[in-house]
Amino acid sequence: MKIETVQKVICENLNISEIEALKILEKAKAGQEFIDDSDVEEWLEERFLPNIVLIDENGYAKMCIDALKILKKTSATDYGSSRQRDFGQLWGDMTRGYLAEYAFVLFLEKVWGIKADLGHESGNLRDYLPCDIHTIQKSGEIIRKPNLNIGIKGTKWNGIWLDIPNNQFNHSDIHILVKVGVSRDHLFAYFRHISVFKDKILKKGIEIGCLDQTSANILFDDLPSFKPIVAYISGFAIKDKGYKSLDYSGKKGRKNFTIKSWNGQYKETDLVEIKKLENINGKVEFEGIGTFSHNQSFLFNVGSLLWKKEDWEKHLINKI
């Protein structure tokens, strides 16, 4: 199956644009979910489509409201930087993170019939939640706490790395990466969908004379439309694996070296070591991101994550 055909299949199955489908494919290849174009059909049918869930309007609304509940308790600083986010950006970012968690709840029920609760209603925010899944209920069982601590991290379609700071990695037994198909304007799309703009903001503009009906209609039509959110359960890393040091691969250019994969602990000094090992005079950087903002972490490209059904069952489902 050619890349163009796979792109079309993704468009049709997920009801997304060709541009978005192409981005999914490009980033899947960049993250080494498949290496060669000849492997793309296997990736599509065995990895990508089976691990897709759709979040409907009610699910989005719940996560949006849950995020709003804790905004005042959340740091406005971007992770890894000193840049301050405004209230709207913070709300959007928190909602996207919660959508990733909700997507995994849907995945558990879709594949194994396990019901799970995120516990957002408690309103207790910590810098890092070692267990994003607070209760589960398997078929025929009562509701109980899981036997594993599960951490869930969300990213956009262009994310190709699961990056967990050192002081957080050992807090959870399983670290799950979920790609969430939302753009920066997802809150605006939802507000348009529930008539915040048409019935409130634009209506007010007409009332005070700064808009006429034609202009209001044009502004409304230019706003993004809301549709069910596509989420891809990309895979997971386990805490107790005994990761090797400098478990990487990459591509050597004339002057620089690009790291394409990484599987385990990462230290900033590793880049100096790689520079020596690869005999590089220029820079050593990571595919798609360049450098990371902290000195130590556990780092995984998406292609190195566990993802098969038997992996989920061995490391999570049978132990949870």
Three-class secondary structure of residue 225 per DSSP: coil
- What is the tens place of the pLDDT at every residue in 238-282? 998 889 999 999 999 989 999 999 999 999 899 999 999 999 999
Q: Which residues of 25-62 are buried (b: 16+ CB within 10 A; e: fewer)?
A: bebbbbbbbbeeeeebbebbeebbeebbbbbeeebbeb
What pLDDT does 184 receive?
81
* Residues above pLDDT 70, as percent of the chain: 93
Reported pTM: 0.90
Comparing 69 with 84, which gets the higher pLDDT? Answer: 69
* pLDDT for residue 268: 87
For residue range 202-228, what is the model confidence (pLDDT) as tens digits? 999 999 999 999 999 999 999 988 999
How far is 20 from 25, CA to CA, in rounded Å? 9
State how far the Cα of 130 lies from the Cα of 150, in Å rounded to an integer: 7
Greatest CA span in the chain, whole angstroms? 69
Residue 74 above 70 pLDDT?
no
Structural domain boundaries in the chain: 50-183+227-240+305-317, 186-222, 248-298
Which whole number is the average pLDDT over 285-294?
Answer: 88
User: According to the model, what pLDDT value does residue 84 have?
Assistant: 63
